[in-house]
A and B are shown apart, each in its own frame.
Chain A
Amino acid sequence: MLKNDFEPNIVAFLCNWCSYAGADLAGTSRIEYPPNVKIIRVMCSGRVNPMFVVNALQQGADGVLIGGCHPGDCHYVQGNYFARRRIAVLKKLLEYLGIDERRVRMTWVSAAEGKKFADVIKEVTEDVRKLGPMQQIRRTNTW
């Protein structure tokens, strides 16, 4: 397959209170964004276990996006701060192992930022499209 034909698979873990509502707003406002993103709703970005990210990369995702509320706006007051620390460490670790850190992205999108959500998805999709398919830790056996 030529690299140009490659359509990336992006898994987005979006928090229920901000980013998911932001994605909803992007939809209701009819803002166009790439259809490559598969959204998984979580109650808070602090819920995102790094194992989710690694597992997504194993099972077919070429990139993972984690969306949370802006710092200080978290519905659970501090969940996104914890998530930020975790993902910062995880990105460094993946880079060290030879997995491009741009495959794991994090963003703050509030419920009012439908346009920003669409822009973020566009940016992540284009980045991952350039990187090509995830090969390193992709699961090959089907059981």
Chain B
Amino acid sequence: MVDQKKLRDEAKKIITREDVKYLVGWEKGTYGFQMTPLFVTSSDDVERLVFNPLCIHNLAVFPMLEEKLPLRKGAHEDTRKIGVVVKGCDSRAIVQIIQEKGLEKENLILIGVPCNGVIDPKKINKRFFHQTKTDDIEEDDKNFIIKTDGKTHKIPKDELIMDKCKTCEFPNPVIYDIFVGEKIKTSSKPDYKEINSFEKKKLDEKWSYWESQFEKCIRCYACRDVCPLCYCKECMVDQLNPQWVRRSVNVSENAAWNIMRAFHLAGRCIGCGECERVCPAGIPLTKLNKKLEKDVLELFEYKPGIKAEDKPLLSIFKPDDPEEFIL
């Protein structure tokens, strides 16, 4: 558990510096078990800053979302730094963006926090149906202690945390300037059991599964907008000339969109699972992303988002890359 006071102290130190524009963290949401991103712009805001297992958002998306307007004549670019509070997976996204030269490390201040797994909103909302208030949430080694309406609930962690957190390899951030809390030891290995068993199915079965999933897609592009690594200035689906993916919502176009979204994240996706969380149609997008993660590991022994000095997967090659498939 992260000491909230210490986190706030560190945030206060950062935000009072002159070379810092703002800091992104989490605050308590308006109702229920919701947290919401908080932009700390002055030291007054710091008191609202929290970190607990409900802080699910990947804040690495915000430095990339920031709109950079064209400069007026004589005006200087705002080169002040941006602070971000990062969990393990968020920090990997940041590393990946730095690798691709989307951001520079010098322009960021990262507060690292250890994370034992975040609570899946779907799972907790099922348990506390129509819940509007939370008082407190704490965690010990195996349980979450949720105090609400004067009652204390003790719920095992396995029942509430996101599936991706169960096999998390990086509970501690891989890159940070300030670390708050205690480091977590882990020996988890990535688990590709589900992917392997799905791969063994027949082609027809696979397609009928994905067809039923892609049929649901309404192409709201929420998966793209929330993804810290989807930061192209113009996305290929927004292009009109050539128009790669047509506007009509049907299985063909939806499949094309989902194939390309997954492919563009090949060797880049760090598995934060935000796309699946925000999907209003409930398409299991991590199942696609994880498959590519596994392939990339098997084919090229590459794991994204670990070292900022590495080169991105598809911009490098080895002369002896696998080529059994070539005629």
Contact = CB atoms under 8 A, between A and B. Distances in A.
A30 to B, nearest CB: 22
Given A81-B319, A85-B321, A93-B292, A100 B253 contact: no
B206 to A, nearest CB: 3
A54 B256 contact: yes
Interface of B: 198-199, 203-211, 236, 244, 246, 248, 250-253, 255-256, 259-260, 262-263, 266-267, 288, 291-292, 295-296, 299-300, 313-315, 317, 319, 321-323, 325-327
B196 to A, nearest CB: 11
Nearest to B295: A92
Contact of B205 (A58, A98, A100): A98
A101 B203 CA distance: 10
Contacts of A106: 325-327
A111 interface: no
A105 B323 CA distance: 11
Q: Which 7 A-B pairs have the closest CB atoms?
A: A98-B207, A98-B206, A81-B317, A107-B327, A137-B255, A92-B295, A139-B252
B198 A54 contact: no
Interface in A77-117: 78, 81-82, 84-101, 105-108
Contacts of B210: 97-98
Report which residue of B203, B244, B299, B314 has the largest number of chain A beta carbons within 10 angstroms of its beta carbon. B203
A139 B267 CA distance: 29
Overall SS of chain B's interface: helix
A140 interface: yes
Contact of A50 (B208, B248, B263, B288): B263
Given A120-B327, A136-B255, A93 B321 contact: no
A124 interface: yes
6 contacts: A85-B314, A92-B292, A93-B263, A97-B206, A98-B209, A141-B248
Nearest to B315: A82
A88 B256 contact: no
A54 B262 CA distance: 13
B317 A84 contact: yes
Nearest to B322: A88
Nearest to B207: A98
A94 B256 CA distance: 11
A136 B266 contact: no
A97 B327 contact: no
A123 B326 CA distance: 12
Contacts of A124: 327
A93 B327 contact: no
Interface residues of A, number: 42
B327 A90 contact: no
A36 interface: no
Contacts of A95: 199, 203
A82 B317 contact: yes
A107 B323 CA distance: 10
A95 B252 CA distance: 16
A91 B325 contact: yes
Interface in A113-143: 120, 123-124, 136-141, 143
Contact of A96 (B206, B244, B267, B327): B206
A43 to B, nearest CB: 17
A106 B325 CA distance: 7
Contacts of B250: 140-141
Nearest to A70: B326
A2 interface: no
Interface in A6-45: none
Report which residue of B250, B256, B288 has the largest number of chain A beta carbons within 10 angstroms of its beta carbon. B256
